[in-house]
Structure 1
């Protein structure tokens, strides 16, 4: 199969003999029949690249001041067991904007696991598909710091989906600065999707694991010191993925998607099930409190919320909701069937309303379109907001799989109306953060700014950054920046303001 036709082959198709050979990928991937190691997902050998003379179509806005950062998997060693994207070593791309100029750099995150495997020249840790090895330090599976990237207290912090050790980088040079010195007395780990309140400078974080109390909630001061922490008692091990906040509360998640700890202990495997007869719960905890008030909602799984805020007696949560987070595995896909089922993604834009006085819950869809990896203007996090920027995902029948993003959607969550921009045949995007204009605050219009995304074109294996006017994405990108090499598909992005990173 040629490179030009690659983008149409189903993700579940056996890859060897059909996926294109890419000159910038490690050779060992061609020994492994796993779609998340090939094509748009293939790792790259372009490490520690820095470039300034980037080709630009259109014009970069002069009030676009800061950095678009994105984390994702870039495995360096041949895996010792079936590969899952969560196993790929964390790899950060940064595109830096200032005064109408732009530069690029990247950095592999130097986790303890990566450094040891580089020293030994082979994989040491198993991945999330197991079997787990509890004799290894820090984690029985590889802690990759590959999921999220955020800015706080003058540093970038790389975080992992499965709750791992946070690693820090210089926000401008992407130099590795080592593990975050955890101020927490309860855990040295953090999950992905910790949140930073741009108004107060506080950082809200959580951690989860397989031992009671199963979750820890905490708040860091703007200087990185611990302000508050509290154990959260859950019924058992859970796999929460998100936290959000309002002016007075943090919002915790307890979803009916989890594993049986006894199976893990007996077989060293984490087998996840979606329990359709159990409610999803959102927990409201005072920002510096210890008592959680839980609200029961319809069964679902929520990977990402756009925002949360208070409106009188109500707390409103906007996010992407999946009622089928574990599609039926196809036995014909062999050893990868459960991983592929889990990585298929069905979700839609949704709103929950929780009444603080009566305990009533009201919920319903904003739109039924398949979309996820939603972002919003961080200036308005914690207070009422209107707009969210999602990635469009094809339906499962059309190859709707995680990280195959075919278009950008701007939602008006008050009216349910949307704007769309398709990336084009064989072109796949990335999570797209909102970029406020230099000096913007809550007196600015919420959508007065830009939206950025990385794309990779499988027709010629080039990668670009697209910059959109957030008020009207339907006009297409106002700037298209050619990157110095192909970017593998990644997970989450962040906009770091120039006033934070260039001071």
Structure 2
């Protein structure tokens, strides 16, 4: 058995198969409002690992009001843009994935930007607290990966525990959320909302147990289905997909390694291509017995764009995402391997998967118009780079935002100025628009020249054109992971 100390060597990865701790009350109501910092010299201590240097380095909580705008914000772009990411507080994380969660939010309101806030998710392990105290539970993780607006609530998620709810008005923490006591496993960082039915679907995977657990909520937010699906070995599955009728799981050869966990590896997963790889397809309301597994060549997929049922053949399902031919060959802190866009066409009748490469370039953080989730779609968005990694193991800085037109076979790129680096670019629908790409792309962009960040707004119908607007922020937004947009009134 692993000790508490060994679990916390890979902070936040404890307890998928363990009982959760009692839920916390509101955690941060007594936290005083932080002030806005000024730009500071970019941290670059060569003695630290790459995920603690330059614009990966953490920042403190901050806020600012009445933000300056370059250009003009569209008046119909009103709502709250949020993005989550790892931001270690007071301690140095041993892996990029396991820093304390910090949410960066900008409120947009009828052409103005009333406020920006950066707030920690107030979890029991914030700042390295509770090390060595008792067994881990579902509430003990950093909540540092994804963010989701759902049923008027805002959830922060990580790979391994219950989602943490935060308040929209000030980003303070409410506490873990367990769907009225029904959720007994984690909610991973990539749940899917059906835009037509309103159903929410998500999953968990066992840390050391060879299982996937699928969950489905109805349109009112009630958890109505939990299905445990056995797999041959304990795996890491960061994302999944859904169509109008089906769920797609990815059993890929990134496997939990007990010896590495005991030795204190910060993320004890290893690439084992000899174990094979497969995709599993199940009806959305199906059971483990209904899953059809089909082998594919070994690969790994962190993130997907979408999946849909083939309109011409009810036995065919298509899945599109960023495929890595291998990952972490030199250990879990080595991010120099790159993935590229691929389509997996799954023929259930013939038990065969056809693979189509859609682009040669490295792309990550794929996004779509969420109104097309689970349906055939035309446009996909992502971020890419023309740069080499700054040092061995480091993920390269992303300096281009890309739009794919899968129907026309065209690609349009927005190239950032030479000193700037982008995070995930998410699509926000124009409420007055009618076409699939009527809307905007929002991304936090960091400038090395000023050591500050801004919120970039692009016209999604004219990605190659200049910015529609830039919302100036008081300091840096470190590189992080995933965001969501909550329209006013949502």
Cα deviation per residue 1:336-361 (whole Å; 9 max; x = unaligned)? xx3431x3340111111112332231
Question: 2:50 — aligned with what?
Answer: 35
With 142-151 and 372-381 compared, the bigger mean Cα shift is at 142-151
Distance change in 2, residues 1:472/1:411 (3 Å): same
Tell whether the 8 Å contact from 1:370 to 1:395 is kept in structure 2 after alignment: no
Question: 1:370 — aligned with what?
Answer: 362
| Pairs within 5 Å for 1:270-419 | 271-290=268-287, 291-311=290-310, 312-313=313-314, 314-327=316-329, 329=330, 338-341=331-334, 343-394=335-386, 401-402=394-395, 404-419=397-412
Question: 2:30 — aligned with what?
Answer: none
Distance change in 2, residues 1:299/1:415 (3 Å): farther
Q: Which runs of 5+ in 2 are unaligned?
A: 1-36
RMSD: 2.7
Question: 1:55 — aligned with what?
Answer: 68
Cα deviation per residue 1:6-59 (whole Å; 9 max; x = unaligned)? xxxxxxxxxxxxxxxx987899996962221121111112x15142x1111111
Q: Residues of 2 paired with 1:356 and 1:184: CA distance?
A: 36
Q: Residues of 2 paired with 1:184 and 1:191: CA distance?
A: 17
Q: TM-score, normalising length from structure 1?
A: 0.82
Q: Residues of 1 paired with 2:79 and 2:39: CA distance?
A: 29
Question: 1:84 — aligned with what?
Answer: 95
Tell whether the 8 Å contact from 1:29 to 1:38 is kept in structure 2 after alignment: yes
Distance change in 2, residues 1:395/1:134 (3 Å): farther
Tell whether the 8 Å contact from 2:39 to 2:451 is kept in structure 1 after alignment: no
Distance change in 2, residues 1:362/1:339 (3 Å): closer
Tell whether the 8 Å contact from 1:407 to 1:420 is kept in structure 2 after alignment: yes
Q: Which runs of 5+ in 1 are unaligned?
A: 1-21, 126-132, 330-337
Q: Is 1:165 equivalent to 2:162 in the alignment?
A: yes
Question: 1:495 — aligned with what?
Answer: 485
Question: 1:68 — aligned with what?
Answer: 81
Question: 1:427 — aligned with what?
Answer: 420
Tell whether the 8 Å contact from 2:43 to 2:55 is kept in structure 1 after alignment: no
- Offset at residue 86 of structure 1 (A): 1.7
Question: 1:100 — aligned with what?
Answer: 111
**2:213 corresponds to which of 213, 216, 219:** 216
- Offset at residue 289 of structure 1 (A): 1.1
- Offset at residue 234 of structure 1 (A): 0.7
**1:178 corresponds to which of 167, 171, 175:** 175
- SS for the counterpart of 2:91 is coil
- Offset at residue 253 of structure 1 (A): 1.5
Q: Is 1:241 equivalent to 2:253 in the alignment?
A: no
Distance change in 2, residues 1:358/1:28 (3 Å): closer
Distance change in 2, residues 1:376/1:96 (3 Å): same
Q: TM-score, normalising length from structure 2?
A: 0.84
| Pairs within 5 Å for 1:131-150 | 135-138=134-137, 143-150=141-148
Question: 2:124 — aligned with what?
Answer: 112
User: Matched residue pairs, number?
Assistant: 446
Q: Residues of 2 paired with 1:26 and 1:138: CA distance?
A: 38
Tell whether the 8 Å contact from 2:441 to 2:457 is kept in structure 1 after alignment: yes
With 412-421 and 422-431 compared, the bigger mean Cα shift is at 412-421
- SS for the counterpart of 2:235 is coil
Distance change in 2, residues 1:200/1:25 (3 Å): farther
Q: Residues of 2 paired with 1:421 and 1:173: CA distance?
A: 32
Question: 1:187 — aligned with what?
Answer: 184
- SS for the counterpart of 2:273 is coil
Tell whether the 8 Å contact from 1:163 to 1:192 is kept in structure 2 after alignment: no
Distance change in 2, residues 1:260/1:387 (3 Å): same
Question: 1:129 — aligned with what?
Answer: none
Distance change in 2, residues 1:215/1:89 (3 Å): same
- Offset at residue 307 of structure 1 (A): 0.7
Distance change in 2, residues 1:113/1:200 (3 Å): same
Q: Is 1:453 equivalent to 2:443 in the alignment?
A: yes
Distance change in 2, residues 1:439/1:156 (3 Å): farther
Distance change in 2, residues 1:176/1:188 (3 Å): same
- Offset at residue 102 of structure 1 (A): 1.9
Distance change in 2, residues 1:31/1:182 (3 Å): farther
Name the one with the larger helix percent: 1
Q: Residues of 1 paired with 2:172 and 2:432: CA distance?
A: 27
Distance change in 2, residues 1:325/1:415 (3 Å): farther
Tell whether the 8 Å contact from 2:183 to 2:223 is kept in structure 1 after alignment: no
- Offset at residue 200 of structure 1 (A): 2.0
- Offset at residue 192 of structure 1 (A): 1.2
- Offset at residue 488 of structure 1 (A): 1.2
- SS for the counterpart of 2:86 is coil
Cα deviation per residue 1:45-103 (whole Å; 9 max; x = unaligned)? 2x15142x111111111121322210011111223xx6212221101111222222223
- Offset at residue 157 of structure 1 (A): 0.7
- Offset at residue 388 of structure 1 (A): 0.8
Distance change in 2, residues 1:398/1:348 (3 Å): farther
Tell whether the 8 Å contact from 1:350 to 1:365 is kept in structure 2 after alignment: yes
